[in-house]
Every structure is written in C-alpha cells, then in structure tokens.
Amino acid sequence: MIKTPMNSDVTSPSELRDQFEETVPVSSFDGSPHHTSPPIREAFRQPRPVWAIAFATTVSFMGIGLVDPILPAISHELNASPTQAMLLFTSYLVITAIAMFFTSWVSSRLGVRRTLLIGLFLVVTFALACSASGSVGQIIGWRAGWGLGNALFISTALSAIVGAAYGGSAGAIILYEAALGIGMAVGPLAGGILGHVSWRGPFLGTAILMGIGFLGILIIYPRSTRPAESAGQVPLFAAIRALGNPALRTLSTVALFYNMAFFVLLAYSPFPIERAAHIAGIHFGELQLGLVFFGWGIGLAITSVGLAPIMTRKLGLVPTVVVALAAIAALMGVLALGVHNLPVIVGAVASSGLLFGLMNTALTEAVMDATPLPRNIASSAYSGVRFFGGAISSAAAGPLAAVTTAAMPYWAAVVCVFLAGLVLLLGKRHLTRLDRRLHLTAEAEAQAIGMGAK
C-alpha cells in the first residue's frame, strides 16, 4: 500500500496553485464562481508558472520529433544503417523508461522546481554533445543522457501541471497534451529546416530552446518557502510497487503495446517514405520529411485539445480509447498495404496524428483518474512502462524490415494495437472509477477528481 506523504513537497503543486488562487478565478458555463468551467476553457487560463512548465514541455517533446527528418541524413553521412540510426530513439527511450520509475522519488527529495531544472540542464548538455558528435555511436550514447534529463523533466512536469493548473485533471491534461502536440509538430519542422543546413542543426537548436525553458522556470517558478528537510519523501520503489494496482497495471500495459505502434510510425516511417519517393523519382529530403511530420504533429495537437475532451465526455474514457485503437489499427494496415506508394504513405503518416492525439489524451486522463494513487507516482509508473514500448519497437522495426519486407513493421504495429485493445477489454472490470465519471455533473466531477489526488 503506497501512502501519500503527509508533508508537502518542496514547492508542491497544490501550494503553487494556492499562491495564484486569486489571480486566476475559477468560473463556469454561466460565469458563476461556484462551478468548475469546461476543461478546454480552463486549460488556457493558468498562472504563469504553469505556462513556464508548458513552454518547456513543448520544447522537450520537440526533442523527440526533431530526429525524424534527419534519420536518413545521419544514416547516409555517418555511414550508418537504418537500424543504427533508429537506435537514436532506442537509447533515448530505454534510459527514459528506466528513469521514469524513480522520478517521483527524486522529485520528493529535491522538490518540483529543482527536479525540473536538473532535467532541463541535462537535456541542454547532452543536446549540445549530440551536435558536436563525430559518429552515430556517439550520438546514440549522448541521446541516452538526453533521455535521463527528459525523464526527470517530463514526469515531474505532468504531475506539476495537473496539481497546479485550474479546471481539474481534465483541463490540465488538455494543456499538457497540447504542449506535447505542438512540440511534436514543431520539432520535425524545425528538424527539417535546420537539418537541411546540417544534421547537427536540430540538436543545437533544441539546446538553445531548452536553455530558454530553463531560464523561464528559474525566473518564474517560485522558490519554496519551506526547508527541504520538511519535504514528504516517496519510497525509492514506489512507482514499481504502484503497478500492483490493477487499474494502473491494465492501463500501463495498454500503453506499452500502443506505444510500440506509435514509435513504429515515428521512428521507422522516414525510411519507407524515402524509398517510396525514390521509386516515384522524387527527391524527399530533410525539409520534406519535416513537413510531413509537421502535419502529423498539428493533427496531434488539434485532436488533443479539441476532439478528445468532447469524445471522452460524451462516450467515456474507455470507449474513446477503444474507438481510437480500432482506427489506429486500420490506419497501420493502410500503411502496410501502401508502403511503396508515396501519396498513400505520406497521407497516412500525416493524418495519423489526428488519431494519436485522441488516444494520447484519453489514455493519459484515464491513468490520472483511474486510481487513488498519488498522481506523481502513477505518472512515473505509467510513463516508465509506456516508454519501454517505444524502445522495443524502435529497436525491432529496422531488423524486422531487413529480414522480411518493408511492410512488416506496420503489420506488427497492427498486432500490437490489437493486443492493447484486448488488454483493455479484459481489464475493464478494474476501471470502475472511470465509469462513474459519466454520471457526474461538472462540479461533482471536479470534486471526485480532487479526492482522487489525495
């Protein structure tokens, strides 16, 4: 049994929210201060520290997508195979996944602000190292350090935004997923533009933007008024033990299989797109790849903020996830069948962001509301498991394509999505807390969410 710490964290999210209670009033559909506003409206009415974290979160997720357009260029210029190039994702995701299980332990001792700053500092340092690398092996190694920094930042940022933002967990997660979507959109575009000049450019650009995010949190996020020794401390293996909760374990396993499919599309797709363009006699360089994944990220952001809240409120979280998984499986099948057709593969990759945005928001919100566990611990456990899925698929997609066909990684993704749906349906009996949300008014829902955070 994991207990919520009795003492507040150093610069705890709830304390931060209280500091800004008077500056961002909570309103409702009719303007009354006694009710909770719709998630979309409240998601963008936040105190300055929340916006500082959201900006840094956007840049952090840019670091994932910026690699996509330059993978073929790194492969060509550094004499690396596609499999070796995709290990840039693998090393990053493996270390991120492992570190995620312990980020709540770290933040409970250092505090939210220090953990965020340390994570950003590590990202800046290792991004600069990547830009100065002379071999693909060096970049793979530096990306592992980058993953450590990103783990410290991402996991802490999610729990900090959920705890400090207005509008309950739904509104906070919309803001977080919007930051994720924008970062995923702008990252490939920035990677394509800077990569058109040199493959080193995207790494250097990320380091500069992360440095700005570091300064933003350093200046805007308030220092704690409490001594560090008063911080409530999370046990070292709290996130791992949290997976004993059936609801969290079910949703984390769903995320494991889903992220296998997600990173097949993200890490593997640049190579079949390049081959399809070659078959069509069209040059498809870093800039063109950047534009494809820019469209993908824009779709991710649009459905994260616009469609996901509507569907989850109308259908419920679990039905929304089921619908999204079915659509993603169908799209992966289209990619497999049209892997050598440039318009088909480009159109499918670009439009898939609409489905991934819906899935990301619904699944993240389900995790945060499905258990009574402290949200920083639930976030660490869930994130650790799901990033392992990405690490597995980014390592396996290249060799699988090499020994079979270019379409096989997409067919494998279809199987992974099917397994995610099967796990969800078999474990639905553990998700009764989510079913109750369909019968709550906006005010009662907010109260239930608040109780679940304790």
pLDDT score of 83 more than 90: no
Instruction: Tell me the pLDDT tens digit for each residue of 29-80.
Output: 233 333 344 455 555 667 777 788 888 888 888 877 777 788 888 888 888 8
User: Across the chain, what does the average pLDDT equal?
Assistant: 79
Average pLDDT over residues 1-27: 40
Cα 431 from Cα 452, distance rounded (Å): 13
Q: Which amino acid is at 52?
A: A
Instruction: Tell me the pLDDT tens digit for each residue of 195-238.
Output: 888 888 888 888 888 888 888 888 887 775 343 433 457 788 88
Token representation of residue 411? 């067919």
Query: Element (H or E) spanning 445, and its range?
Result: helix 442-452
Whether the Cβ atoms of residue 413 and residue 265 lie closer than 8 Å to each other:
yes
Calculate ∠ Cα 289-293-298, nearest 5°.
145
Residue labelled with tokens 């979507």:
181
Dihedral angle over CA of 412, 414, 418, 420, nearest 10: 70
pLDDT score of 302 more than 60: yes
Instruction: Tell me the pLDDT tens digit for each residue of 239-289.
Output: 888 888 898 999 999 999 999 999 999 889 999 999 999 998 988 888 888
Whether the Cβ atoms of residue 171 and residue 165 lie closer than 8 Å to each other:
yes
Whether the Cβ atoms of residue 320 and residue 253 lie closer than 8 Å to each other:
no
Instruction: Tell me the pLDDT tens digit for each residue of 358-407.
Output: 998 888 888 877 888 877 788 788 888 988 998 999 889 989 999 999 99
Average pLDDT over residues 414-431: 92
Cα–Cα distances in Å, from 397 out to 84, 111, 165, 234, 261?
Answer: 11, 38, 38, 37, 10
Of all residues in the chain, the percent with pLDDT exceeding 90 is 26
Average pLDDT over residues 6-26: 40
- Other C-beta atoms closer than 10 Å to the C-beta of 1 total 5
Lowest-pLDDT choice from 14-18, 298-302, 377-381: 14-18
Calculate ∠ Cα 7-437-173, nearest 5°.
60
Q: Tell me whether residue 72 is exposed, middle or buried, using C-beta atoms within 10 angstroms of its C-beta: 0 to 12, 13 to 18, 19 or more.
A: buried
Cα–Cα distances in Å, from 54 out to 103, 176, 180, 270?
Answer: 18, 7, 9, 28
Instruction: Tell me the pLDDT tens digit for each residue of 143-191.
Output: 999 989 988 888 788 767 776 666 556 666 677 767 777 787 788 888 8
Q: What is the pLDDT of residue 169?
A: 60
Whether the Cβ atoms of residue 328 and residue 266 lie closer than 8 Å to each other:
no
